Every structure is written in structure tokens, then in C-alpha cells.
Amino acid sequence: MTAGSRQRHASLLSRYTFDLGQCVSRQRGERALKAAAMEQALASRTKSEFLANMSHELRTPLNAIIGFSDIIAGQPALPRERTCEYAGLINDAGKHLLSIISDVLDVAKIESGTFELDIETHLLRDLLVSAASMVEHRIAEKHQTLAVVLPDRLPLVRADARRLKQIVVNLLSNAHKFTPSGGGITLAAAPVDAHYVAVSVRDTGIGMSEAQIEVALTPFGQVHSCRTRSQEGTGLGLPIAKALVEQHGGRLWLDSAEGRGTTVAFTIPAEETSR
């Protein structure tokens, strides 16, 4: 091969390599743009769904507060029993509204890194029994059964008592919400090793697929929005529970299948001394 031929061959190879590199770069850029567009569309849809759901969640208690207070103000001669009934409904609606706002604020603090725990040593059994008592009335109203299965001796835990009860109440409330009338819910706990104790909430509800589990663990995710639109909720209970568990140094996971119920379990650091 002559020097001129070698030069032309090198020039063609160089141009081919350059063109190939440009083509690969262009394809990568196009894929990145498509991925970004898909993420933006998904984020926009999630935001729209959240705003629509949140608007409904806020309107419901606000309408109750305004409606019953209007009745009381407009009919001063109402019987005392009726006035007390309406005042109780206003109080319930106000508490519900406060819980929604508190959940949103919790998520904002967790995501901004400003969330702090008040860690002390507590008897885990007492915290679990107290959390169960907070939801047992609602569970009984729906003709569900609640079984609290705890060993005689449970480890002491280093935890924020209010937040640990919030975790358990959120999990029990979710189980109650997505379990049909006559179903069962079980709250259980057992030591894992010398350093951790596991707590679980199992239900006989509608269950979730693997894809739905991923959505359920995302803030504002609404897994059953189509099938259970009558259910209240902002989609924050499970993500907040997961974040609070992780703040304590534990881990939360789900085991579920559609039509076969759901088990949500988490670990939390324990002290070696047991009671």
C-alpha cells in the first residue's frame, strides 16, 4: 500500500469513527431527553393526582365543620342533645383535618432533613398495646378482629415513643382500611437478635402486587385509587412509617399478594436487657 493510499484509508477510518461517535452521542442524547420527558410527565401526573386527592381530603372535614357550625349558629333553639352531637362531629372533623396537615408537615421535614426524634428507653409492649387501643374501636365498628400477639418478654427499645406509636397506628389504620368487613388483623412482635426486635401487622385484605407495593411506599402514592376510591387517605401513612423506621435505624418491608392480604414488618433497635 502506498503512502497516499494509507493516508486516504486513515482519513476514511477517522471520518467513520467520528461519524459513529456523533451518531452514538446523538442517540444517547435522544434517549436522555425521552427519559427526562417521561419523568417530567410522571411527576406532573403524580402532582395532579396528589392535588386532586388532597383537595378532596381537605374539603371533607372543612365542609363538615362549616356545615354543622352553620346549623348550630342558625338554630339557637336546637335541643342540647343535637347541639352536643354536632359539636362532636365538628371536633372529629377538626382532628381529621389536623392529622392531614401534620402528615404533610412530617413529610416536608423528613425530606428537608430537619426531622428530629426524641429518643428514650421504653417498654415496647406498652407502646404496642397503647397503639392498638387507639384503633381497636374503628376495627370493631367494621366487624373486624384485632389480635395482639406478643411474647411474655420483649426487649426494651430506644425510640421516640410518640413516633413509634404513630408508625404502628399508621400500619393498623392501613390494614383496617383495606380489609373487608369480617376480616382479621394481627399485630405481633418478637426479638430478631440481641440488637433488634421486629414488629409486624398482618391483614386478610385485598393485598397488592409488587408494582403496587412500590407505589404504596412512595409519598402521595395511591395504589387502589380505582378500586377503592371511597377510602379516605392522602397516601402518606405508609411512606411516613417507612421514613420514621429508618430514622430510628431500622428497616421496613412489605409482603403482599393481590387477594391474599398484606404483612408489613419493621425492625427497631433494642437494648439487650429484657422485661
Q: Which CATH class is domain 1-115?
A: mainly alpha
From first to last of its 275 residues, the chain has per-residue pLDDT tens of 565 555 555 566 677 666 667 776 777 776 776 666 666 655 555 566 666 666 767 777 888 888 888 888 888 788 888 888 988 888 888 887 887 888 888 878 887 888 888 899 999 999 999 999 999 988 999 999 999 999 988 889 999 999 999 999 999 999 999 999 999 999 999 998 888 999 999 999 998 888 888 877 776 655 544 444 445 556 778 888 999 999 999 999 999 888 889 999 999 998 865 44
Where do the domains of the chain lie? 1-115, 120-274
| Residue whose cell numbers read 374503628 | 138
Is residue 25 exposed (0-12), middle (13-18) or buried (19+ Cβ within 10 Å)?
exposed
Q: Which CATH class is domain 120-274?
A: alpha beta
Residues β-bridged to residue 252: 266
Angle at which helices 80-112 and 237-247 cross, to 10°: 50
Which DSSP string do the residues of 131-172 spell out, in sequence order?
Answer: HHHHHHHHHHHTT-EEEEE--S--EEEEE-HHHHHHHHHHHH
The continuous run of DSSP H or E covering 268 comes out as strand 262-274
What is the value of pTM for the model shown? 0.70
Q: Quick check: 67 and 93 in contact, CB under 8 A?
A: no
Dist. CA 250–CA 239, nearest whole Å: 14
